[in-house]
Amino acid sequence: MISAYPTPGAVISLRSATWKVLSTSILKRGFREIHCRGLSGLVRDKESRFVWDLEKGARVLDPGAVQLLPDESPGLIDTKLHLEASFRNTPTTTRRPLTLGRAAIDDLSFQHLPVERALAQDRVRLLIADDVGLGKTLEAGLITSELALRGRADRILVVTTRAMLTQFQKEFWTRFSIPLSRLDSAAIRRMRNRIPAHYNVFDQFDRSIVSIDTLKRDAQIRDAIKHSYWDLIIIDEAHNAAARKAAAGSNSQRAELAQLLSRRTDSLLLLTATPHDGSQESFASLIEMLDPTRVPDPTRLHRTDIEDLVVRRFRSDRKVAADIGQQVPERKLIRRNFPLSPEEEVAYQSIADLHLDLDEQSTRGRAIDLFRTTLAKAIFSSPAACFETLERRIRGIENGAARGTEEDRVRLRELADQVAAIETDAFSKYQDLLRMLREIRWTGKAARDRIVIFTERIATVSWLAERLREDMGLSEEQVARVDGGSVEADVRTQEVIEAFGQEKSPIRILIASDMASEGLNLHFQCHRLIHFDLPWSLLRFQQRNGRIDRYGQDRAPLITYFVGESSHPKVRQMWVLEKLVEKDEAAQSGVGDPAVFLGKGDAEEEEAVVAEAIASGIGADAFDAEMNVRAAEAEDHMSLDDEFAALFGDYATPAVPEPDAETTAKQAPPRLFPDTFTYASKMVERLSRPEERVFASLPAISREDRTIRMVIPDDMRARDGFGYASEGAVDGRYMPEEAVGSGDRIELTDQAQVINQAIDQAKMQERSWPTVQYLWDVHPILEWFADRASTFFPEHSAPVAPLSRLAGGEVAVVMHGAIPNANGAPVVDRWAVVIRGSDGTVRIEEVPDFITRMRLAEDTPGRAVEDLGLAQSAISVAVDRFQTHLVELRREQGARIQQDLNEVLDRLAKLEGRFRTQLVLDLGDVADSNTDLTPAEKRRLTIRRSREQRIERMFQDWTEWFERTRHMVDDPNPYVDVKAVFVG
């Protein structure tokens, strides 16, 4: 029986492999279970659990017994590459941002705040609610990169809309070198054909992206979520998953799914430009996903409770405007007035005068729910949409599937005949669209003069696609559509949107429903947007405009909308939507949050307000006055109620004070090579030696252009039959298949401007993914380099080499040590050089200082080690000294960490007290007994007990999380790694 039990952080030998212990626990029979991560060979990065007492031959490796291997490589290149790989592959614990100004994006200072805010948190939980088009995806990419460098983003799940899958995946790869496996319907189908039915889908993909609708409708995948856990989950367009006052059906399912996801991850990012629907409850539902302990009462949020969880800036904010003002051309709104044709006047008048029994019998009482309102929305879109709506209702009445009397059926049939009489020539809005295209001399020949047309109705999408092809002489492939109407909509949508952004694509007009109004980049080859019908929501109008009016647009966005003119008073009173456009202009000019005009922050709720205005016939001017009153009341409310103003205003408070220079220097991870490209080029050169047998053909390295061109080696290809990758394709852990060029060639560069040019060039070619990849600290090829570097010196060995600048008899031992928490993650992380002098004295030197003093980054002449025994004898001394140093660090840090933990636990205790106070306010102080209670009191008691259990469980979970992540393992001999030994 083995008596020496391993502690978290220790490295062990077990079953002929080397493992790092992450955590330990005592089983019922007294045996000790260890949770490990593999460090070598086939088990590398694989996590497993073992019963230590039952493992024969298992042992804790003694860091002092490391085998020394003389480095005979030219210029000690093997030692240098081995050290650099270790520096880069070891997670850092610094809270200083490491990626700002270094990713392949424009460095905008306002985008630093979310990164700083996230790194200031113990558990990264952040709502990024910046305005449309300000780069929330890029901010999420920066945060993800920071977490990856800290070993806190090994498993990532991104949840977004179907239309955004490819765009989000491509942004993360091209800008940040973060590969995500895209789980669209086709990929899931292929995967299910390859893995056993009982396998968890998400076990096959460490980093994946999936649409929220796929998760929502697939019961097997939903069940897999319950048995999976991620380091980081990002929910894009998170407002779709927020609890809304009118939420039902699909929206309610999304909210439940998002709540489940929030409990299955360590870190969570929520991205949305519309974080609330005007109510505190909707805002609170997002905060609850981030940290449920902050919301004792969803109807009474306090900014001081949640400020560290939210970042929100508007375009009108001073800092934002200063960063992007010169780089986003000012948009131009174009209003097109057109007179209704006689045929249209008849149909519009009939709808304005329409009275239906089914509307009179409606119990919901809202104008938006009336069928007459549905018809008004449809006719505002197109006669085709209105006729389709009428025919469907008439058929429903006739076969008993829909409400409506015989009198209703007759009236609707008469109206359908009137709508059918509106031929193409009489469809005045469409004729004005054709007239506009002729006026601007648009022919569809110019590759970068494309048009996106938005309409609410799929029937209108179909009708426009057919008519524009015929009337404008356009081919089938020149007019594309995105409406989500097909079974394979997610795949087809991604293909169309990809093509629309490609200069060589034949697409000239994209006709889209509002499924394409959120998040998508449609501005690469397009600066013209047409609202064929205006949405009944100001938020939706802004979202549509944001597809081309966004950061990165290089031409002034031209946004066109249509307003009909009628001779009939009732019909004129129906046209109120143009007033929404005026309010959008006001919001752009400085109001900030457009929700003030309609008093809502949700598109569906805004539609209900507009429907009331149209149904009541108050007219455009009266509707405009109503919106002005709401905005004024909101302003008065904010001036009188500071809490309201604070809650729904911006969130742009700086995160934490800048660390002092000395602290920053100590926290910066050491580097031997000046930059990532130099390290990568040296590593590729080393692996290109014939004896390595890594590359089938020699890579090409250009230090002048700072590029590395190579064919993907077999080591980076997928080997297993699971997952959705084809056999022998590039391993998705290293890069998406789309990023690999013909002949399996890739190109790496550390020049951000080259990446930006490659992205732009890809838009002009048939393939939209550039084959040039951004080589920086986050690129997964560095993990492959680390794997290869580990073969230079076998397990539990270290290089030993002479250095002429060390004094005779001196031995310098480069070491790394960490004090882990109960989860095995480092709390204290330390690199150092322990130097034993010829007189036996021992001192510790910082690694960067040692590298500089020894000129180790320069050419280093190699020679044989004369006295290996001298080096070997110094190791145990160095290990003892460094372990003592780590224990001292633990003692120093422990007091501060315990003080921070006490503050956190005090805060949680106060919040729990507020929850229990709220419980009494909501349900009263019911006696905790069923004796002599009325039925109503018994029900209240049952509800109270349920809520008490939920409160207790919630605070216990969060308390345990903080205790496990803050508590440092109390090992008197913490495990340390000897990385290299130098002798004088």
Fold matches, 110-324 and 328-338+427-565: yes
Does residue 437 surpass a pLDDT of 60?
yes
pLDDT score recorded for residue 299: 85
Confidence band for 278, pLDDT divided at 50, 70 and 90: low
**Cα distances (Å, whole numbers) of residue 207 to 170, 180, 719:** 14, 5, 18
Does residue 721 surpass a pLDDT of 50?
no
For the chain, the domains span 11-61, 110-324, 328-338+427-565, 342-424, 579-658, 666-777, 803-984
Tell me how far apart the terminal alpha carbons of the chain are, to the nearest angstrom.
43
* Sign of the alpha-carbon torsion through 672, 678, 679, 683: negative
Confidence band for 798, pLDDT divided at 50, 70 and 90: very high
- Count how many Cα atoms sit within 13 Å of the Cα of residue 344 in the half-sphere of its side chain: 27
Q: Is 308 exposed, middle or buried (0-12, 13-18, 19+ CB in 10 A)?
A: buried
Cα–Cα distance for residue pair 91/169, rounded to 1 Å: 24
Which range, of 164-168, 204-208, 577-581, 682-686, averages the lowest pLDDT?
Answer: 577-581
* Sign of the alpha-carbon torsion through 382, 385, 386, 388: positive
Does residue 646 surpass a pLDDT of 60?
no
pLDDT score recorded for residue 722: 42
Nearest alpha carbon to residue 304 among 900, 910, 918: 910
Does residue 613 surpass a pLDDT of 90?
no
Which range, of 482-486, 805-809, 960-964, averages the lowest pLDDT?
Answer: 482-486
Nearest alpha carbon to residue 820 among 23, 151, 150: 23
Mean pLDDT of 614-642: 70
pLDDT score recorded for residue 300: 86
Confidence band for 893, pLDDT divided at 50, 70 and 90: confident
Could you read off the pLDDT of 111-128 as tens digits, one per residue?
A: 999 999 999 999 999 999
Percent of the chain with pLDDT over 90: 48
Confidence band for 864, pLDDT divided at 50, 70 and 90: confident
pLDDT score recorded for residue 8: 80
Sheet arrangement for strand 526-531: 332-339, 558-565, 526-531, 450-454, 509-512, 479-482
Structure tokens at 580: 């929404």
Residues 6 or more apart whose CB falls under 8 angstroms from that of 626 comprise 613, 618
pLDDT score recorded for residue 16: 85
Which range, of 49-63, 572-586, 855-869, averages the lowest pLDDT?
Answer: 572-586
Q: Which CATH class is domain 328-338+427-565?
A: alpha beta
Q: Which H/E stretch holds residue 332?
A: strand 332-339
DSSP helix/strand/coil, 491: helix
Could you read off the pLDDT of 734-773 as tens digits, one per residue?
A: 788 888 888 888 999 999 999 998 888 887 776 678 989 9
Does residue 14 surpass a pLDDT of 80?
yes
Confidence band for 416, pLDDT divided at 50, 70 and 90: very high
Does residue 518 surpass a pLDDT of 80?
yes
CA angle 656, 104, 740 (to 5 degrees): 135
Confidence band for 276, pLDDT divided at 50, 70 and 90: confident
Confidence band for 479, pLDDT divided at 50, 70 and 90: very high
Q: Which CATH class is domain 110-324?
A: alpha beta
Structure tokens at 815: 């070491």
Cα–Cα distance for residue pair 287/126, rounded to 1 Å: 9
**Cα distances (Å, whole numbers) of residue 726 to 107, 722, 730:** 37, 9, 8
Does residue 360 surpass a pLDDT of 80?
yes
pLDDT score recorded for residue 755: 94
Q: What is the mean pLDDT of the chain?
A: 86
State the residue for tokens 């109510």.
279
Mean pLDDT of 846-866: 89
